Amino acid sequence: MYHVGVVNSEGDLTEWQNEEAVPSNWNITHTDVEQETSYDLIILLEHGLEYVGKICGQLMKVKREMDALIWVWSTSQNEMNRMVYLKLGADGIITEKLGKEEWLLIMDNALKRNAGEVLVEGADSDSMNLSKSGVTMNHRNRSLISADDEEVQLTSFEYKIMDLLFQNAGETVTYEEIYQAIWKGEATDEKKFYRISNLVFHIRKKLEDELGTSEAIRTVRSKGYVLNI
């Protein structure tokens, strides 16, 4: 299941959620760039030239704080604005020249490719999988695989947390260690806690939905998390 967030400054998502061409493995929700939620894809809807400045701000924030693919759905035909979006980090721009059904197929393929990227530096064929009590961490697919071959896809941030927990299975990994592994730099303790707990919440939900358990990650109060599997 891919989690897709649509940032729409006008109206709701009825058109998107009722679109027959939307892949069945997409969970589309309305989001806001202020919500530090985990997504595989963020779609920014630009309804006209008067929204360009706002879209630029949203794009930079998403690029800085999320690990999702970012596409801008643009109603304008201004090449200069599209170039600005791309220079700010957008993965692509879609205009009315390309039909929504065709674009949805393009994006679904991109999500599948992105989920299969090797994201661990220095990983080789001999260390591609790490197994703890029947649950395998697959570096190649950026996923978790149960003993029953059920697969849980992770975003890159979720993956980095699980990789760190696997490397220290049975030991507490602190909020500071997790934060530095993903974002680095300085931040308030409150922001670190919020960002990390939000990601762990989504990992647990995926584990519950796909594997029927969310108890693999145990919270160590005021310190961090420990992997129980």
The ranges of the chain annotated as CATH 1.10.10.10 are 125-227
Q: What does the block give as tokens for 40?
A: 């595989």
Instruction: Read off the pTM.
Output: 0.54
pLDDT digits (tens, 9 = 90+) for 95-132: 767 677 777 777 777 777 666 543 444 444 333 444 55
CATH of domain 2-115: 3.40.50.2300
**Dihedral in degrees, nearest 10, Cα atoms 95, 96, 102, 105:** 40
Q: By three-state DSSP, how is residue 213 classified? A: coil
Q: What angle do CA 10, 11, 12 make, to 5 degrees?
A: 130
The ranges of the chain annotated as CATH 3.40.50.2300 are 2-115
pLDDT digits (tens, 9 = 90+) for 20-66: 667 777 888 887 777 666 788 888 888 878 888 888 988 888 887 77
User: Could you give the CA distance from residue 81 to residue 96 in angstroms, rounded to a whole number?
Assistant: 15
Residue 81: per-residue pLDDT: 83
157-177 in b/e form (b: 16+ CB < 10 A) is bbbbbbbbbbeeeeeebebee
Instruction: Determine the average pLDDT of the residues in 135-164.
Output: 80
CATH architecture of residue range(s) 125-227:
Orthogonal Bundle (1.10)
| Average confidence score pLDDT of the chain | 77
What totals of helices (H) and strands (E) does the chain contain, helices first? 7, 12
- Choose the weakest-confidence range: 12-26, 137-151, 197-211, 212-226: 12-26
User: Could you give the CA distance from residue 133 to residue 96 in angstroms, rounded to a whole number?
Assistant: 50
